[in-house]
Amino acid sequence: MSTLNFGYGINRPRAIDLDNNDLRKSNAIIAEMPELQACIGCGSCTASCTAGAITNFNFRKLHTAVRRGEYRGVYEELSKCMLCGKCRLVCPRGINTRGLVMLIKRKLGDF
Amino acid sequence: MRRASWQEYQKDIADDKYYYARSCIRQNFFPGSEKAFLDILTNNLGIDIYDDPLHTSCTGIGYHSDVVPLETIMTVVARQFSLMAEAGYENFISSCITSFGIYNEVLATWEEFPETEERTRRYLKEATGRELVKPRSIAHTSDIMFHHRHAIARQAKRRLINVHTGEPLKVVEHIGCHYAKIFPKSGIGGSEFPYVLAGMIEAWGGDVVDYPERRHCCGFGFRNYLVQANRGSSIANSHKKLESMAPYKPDFIVANCPGCTMFLDKWQYAIAEMDGTTYGADGRGIPVLSYEEMAGLVLGYDPWKLGMQFHQVDVEPLLDKLGVEYSPEAKYLGPDGKHIGRPRDVAVNCEEVRRIYEIRR
């Protein structure tokens, strides 16, 4: 690009742009697991998470990002999940969160 | 409903006898604009306006950068007001949006906290021997131009119409944040629907572009750009606005704030260098005008006398659309006929450019 060094660049906005995000993967995940739409974002999954207790792994953040069409880095991050299923036991909406981890990884394999 | 809502916020603007307070940075970046304002009011409209050589900077830049204390700026403002009274005027008009915000802020502070006014009176007396006299009215110079827009329209040599197609020009108006976002009642139309520039555009035949980021800041806020490391945030604001307005294909941008006029103009060069993106129909940028320049063109002033050669984005394509006759050879000649130098060829100037840019038409 430019050969000039301005000493700064153009900061990219951190706004969530639902108009331009590619929601096809997100829609496919919800189509296969429609109960995900019942999530109230309480964070019980993250609070009870075995991996979250020893790393900064945050499952609520990850599945929220996926539903917004922000997939970058999610697949790699989900590799920290040990599939113990404690999150499934505490989910107040009865969502199969353990199954959701595997579903997201399957759908986002190419991200 | 939306168009009429500006009428909810109105203010009294004096018809005549103005005391003129200049801007620090406009005289550097748009040196012809303040001269054009004085010429239009004096020669075209026959209005009494006093350009006082004794007044100083309002010190707003220092105040917003935390190097000038509140007491100091209040005393400086009090001195400007007392100079106005000594000159026999009572309608204070400011050329700068930052100053306009400062004057309103100081007056509101004196109103809310009378002890600060008493203290300022004492400081002013001790420092200069002057007495504080508050102005009867405060207005920004764009308010004055808006107030007299129909009188200007009656003297117009041309309207904001594309002479090749007969269509009204599409104009993006940008209002400085300190015009009405600090005190909505101090601006025509308030902070949500400021009508001050839109009123001029409509009166002179143009079409106002309503685009999603219309009320977004240009990014000029002093803290945003004074430190080089922060300027990425500053330029991101102008970038956001330009990206948002580009699909509406504006013919030019008009702004009433010194910082906005400068940033929306000069950042187009920086964005072209950093991002490889240029805007405008032919990728040569969207010209950015001050409202005095817009009024000057409508009244038939010479574009080089208006100082339009100091713009980063070349204005020639706009002048051609308006049917303005100009001399390309005279562009970089000073008032004394000497060559004043010319900028390096870049994408947003009308020179041959070999690099390939992504054009947001």
CB-CB contact of B93 with B20 (8 Å): yes
Residues in chain B: 361
Cα separation of B335 and A31, whole Å?
71
- CB–CB contact A7 B271 (8 Å): no
Cα separation of B346 and A3, whole Å?
13
- Residue by residue, DSSP assigns B43-110 as IIT---EEE-TT-----HHHHHTTSS-HHHHHHHHHHHHHHHHHTT--EEEES-HHHHHHHHHHHHHH
Q: Where are the domains of chain A?
A: 24-108
Exposure string of B67-80, with b = 16+ CB inside 10 Å and e = fewer, is ebeeeebbbbbbbb
Q: Which of B133, B57, B39 is nearest to B90 (CA)?
A: B133
Amino acid at B358: E
Instruction: Give the other-Cβ count within 10 Å of B213's Cβ.
Output: 14
Question: Where does the pLDDT of residue B341 fall: very low under 50, low under 70, confident under 90, or very high at 90 and above?
Answer: confident
**Reduced to 3 states, what is the DSSP secondary structure of residue B1?**
coil
For the ranges B108-117, B285-294, B325-334, B347-356, which has the lowest average pLDDT? B347-356
What backbone torsions phi and psi does residue B174 show, to the nearest 5 degrees? -130, 125
- Comparing CB atoms, the residue among A2, A4, A10 nearest residue B235 is A10
pLDDT above 70 coverage of chain B, percent = 98
- CB–CB contact B273 A10 (8 Å): no
The pLDDT value recorded for residue A1 is: 55
pLDDT at B170 over 90: yes
The pLDDT value recorded for residue B99 is: 96
The Cα of B235 is separated from the nearest Cα of chain A by a number of Å equal to 6
* A16: its two tokens: 């969530």
The Cα of B169 is separated from the nearest Cα of chain A by a number of Å equal to 29
Which CB contacts under 8 angstroms, 24+ apart, belong to A10-15?
A10/B232, A10/B235, A10/B236, A10/B239, A10/B271, A10/B274, A10/B275, A11/B232, A11/B233, A11/B235, A11/B236, A12/B236, A13/B236, A13/B240
Amino acid at B16: D
- Comparing CB atoms, the residue among B232, B270, B276 nearest residue A11 is B232
CB-CB contact of A79 with A38 (8 Å): no
Q: Which of B56, B49, B50 is nearest to B80 (CA)?
A: B56
pTM of this structure: 0.84
Write the CA distances from B69 to B53, B59, B61, integer angstroms.
25, 10, 11
- CB–CB contact B236 A6 (8 Å): no
For the ranges A46-55, B84-93, B99-108, B339-348, which has the lowest average pLDDT? B339-348
- CB–CB contact A9 B271 (8 Å): no
Question: Where does the pLDDT of residue B31 fall: very low under 50, low under 70, confident under 90, or very high at 90 and above?
Answer: confident
- Which of B241, B243, B273 is the mutation pick for testing A, counting most A CBs within 10 A? B273
Strand order in the sheet with B137-140: B49-51, B18-21, B91-94, B137-140
The pLDDT value recorded for residue A110 is: 60
* B273: its two tokens: 């260098």
CB-CB contact of B139 with B91 (8 Å): yes
CB-CB contact of B96 with B58 (8 Å): yes
- Comparing CB atoms, the residue among A1, A4, A10 nearest residue B232 is A10
CB-CB contact of B219 with B233 (8 Å): yes
DSSP B161: B
Q: Which residue has the higher pLDDT, B227 or B83?
A: B83
- CB–CB contact A11 B235 (8 Å): yes
The Cα of A17 is separated from the nearest Cα of chain B by a number of Å equal to 13
DSSP B301: -
The pLDDT value recorded for residue B1 is: 44
The pLDDT value recorded for residue A5 is: 87
Q: Which of B150, B152, B142 is nearest to B296 (CA)?
A: B152
Chain A, residues 1-60, CB within 8 A of chain B, namely: 1-2, 4, 6-13
As for the ipTM of the complex, it is 0.79
Cα separation of B167 and B48, whole Å?
36
Q: Which of A73, A63, A54 is nearest to A96 (CA)?
A: A63
Chain B neighbors of A5, CB-CB under 8 A: none
Q: Which residue has the higher pLDDT, B146 or B343?
A: B146
How many contacts does A have with B, using Cβ atoms within 8 A? 37
The pLDDT value recorded for residue B358 is: 84
pLDDT above 90 coverage of chain B, percent = 78
Q: Which residue has the higher pLDDT, B161 or B227?
A: B161
What backbone torsions phi and psi does residue B178 show, to the nearest 5 degrees? -75, 0
Q: What is the pLDDT of residues B251-297, one digit of tens each?
A: 999 999 999 999 999 999 999 999 889 999 888 899 999 999 999 99
- Comparing CB atoms, the residue among B240, B270, B274 nearest residue A13 is B240
